[in-house]
Amino acid sequence: MYPDPRFVTRVTTLGAGPIGGGWAAHFLARGYDVTAYIHSEAEVPALMSVIDTAWISLTALGLAPGASRDKLRITTDLADSVKTAQFIQESAPERLEIKQALYKKLGDLAPRDCVIASSTSGLMMTQIQAECMTPQRTVIGHPFNPPYLLPLVEVVGGKGTEPEAVAWAVEFYRIAGKAPLAMKKEIPGFVATRLQEALWREALHMVASGEATPDDIDNALMNGPAPRMAVQGQCMAFHVACGEGGMATNLDQFGPALKWPWTRLDAPELTQELRDRMVDGCNDIAAGRHFEEMAATRDREIVAVLNAIREARR
């Protein structure tokens, strides 16, 4: 039913803000023909400013063959912007009534085999698609700011979405140079924002109680876990740090510490099932690699990150 994602050449973006403009820039950099719908012509300078800013970074990362800002068409006609679209990335304001009204229109205007993805970070697709007559092809495609730089796109459908549309979006984003994460369930905040929000809440707790300033928080992150987390997620960081025993050692030895007041935020009960999921999951990622090999890889990549930051700041 959906077109082969490898042969998509036309993408429509909706929205002139940093997210909508960032998406337009990303798709242009990957060589697509991009139609950008904006609310009014007064938004053209803002849109072009975002694209021009993003283009500097996208060029430094490497443009796809045939990529050009000349492939951008801007329109204020919604019907015209989507009528021949092969994929739509919607980045309208984060207000439910606006999104619902928009999806009601898009449901009729966009071709039936065109997947529509929302950049929303705070709303759920089940809500957004409530008034859409063709909800089966509507999905969340949540980027991380800045959207033209960070590869993550979290993909999940609503109750009215068909699984094929989610699978198609995941495949399309991958072809389009992103790192899609197909979510298991529709939950508020998705995965990355939930992790970031947990960290953010503890940061606010520390500032509220006078234990740290915003400068302390930022320095702690930049000089501590972040350069490692950029090359190795937190699960594998613990897995590899615990040597031969891996995640099993981490949970069996440090599990009791989950009850310690190392943050104000409550940990889940460490059941046998949770333990096994964490251990099995890390072993799956390791895929037979020895921890020393993974530690050496981590170190080489952290060195590259630290040297790159130092060089960029020179």
Site for a copy of itself in 230-259 (CB under 8 A): 230-238, 241, 247, 257-258
* Size of site (CB under 8 A) for a copy of itself: 113
d(Cα 156, Cα 171) in Å, to the nearest integer?
Answer: 13
Report the residue from 77, 113, 197, 293 that binds a copy of itself according to the rule CB under 8 A: 197
Report DSSP state, residue 116.
E
> What part of residues 257-286 is at the interface with a copy of itself (CB under 8 A)?
257-258, 260-271, 273-274, 277-278, 281-282, 284-285
The yes or no reply on residue 299 touching a copy of itself (CB under 8 A) is yes
What minimum distance in Å lies between the beta carbon of 89 and a copy of itself?
17
Report the residue from 221, 245, 252, 294 that binds a copy of itself according to the rule CB under 8 A: 221
d(Cα 285, Cα 192) in Å, to the nearest integer?
Answer: 18
Torsion sign (Cα): 27, 34, 48, 79: negative
Looking at the Cβ atoms of 64 and 150, the one nearer to a copy of itself is: 150
Looking at the Cβ atoms of 1 and 304, the one nearer to a copy of itself is: 304
Report the residue from 44, 48, 96, 149 that binds a copy of itself according to the rule CB under 8 A: 149
Looking at the Cβ atoms of 6 and 184, the one nearer to a copy of itself is: 184
The yes or no reply on residue 48 touching a copy of itself (CB under 8 A) is no
Report the residue from 216, 289, 290, 293 that binds a copy of itself according to the rule CB under 8 A: 216
- The distance from CA 311 to its chain's CA centroid, rounded to whole angstroms, is 27
Task: Look up tokens 């069996």; give the residue.
Answer: 252
The yes or no reply on residue 93 touching a copy of itself (CB under 8 A) is no
What minimum distance in Å lies between the beta carbon of 231 and a copy of itself?
6
Percentages of the chain per state (helix, strand, coil), in multiples of 5: 55, 10, 30
Residue 93's region, left for phi above 0, alpha for psi from -120 to 50, else beta, is beta
**What character string, x for contact with a copy of itself (CB under 8 A) and - otherwise, covers 100-139?**
----------------------x-----------------
SS3 17: coil
The yes or no reply on residue 193 touching a copy of itself (CB under 8 A) is yes
Looking at the Cβ atoms of 66 and 225, the one nearer to a copy of itself is: 225
SS3 142: strand
d(Cα 242, Cα 231) in Å, to the nearest integer?
Answer: 17
Q: Is the distance from CB of 110 to CB of 88 less than 8 angstroms?
A: yes
Q: Is the distance from CB of 123 to CB of 96 less than 8 angstroms?
A: yes
d(Cα 53, Cα 56) in Å, to the nearest integer?
Answer: 6
The yes or no reply on residue 84 touching a copy of itself (CB under 8 A) is no
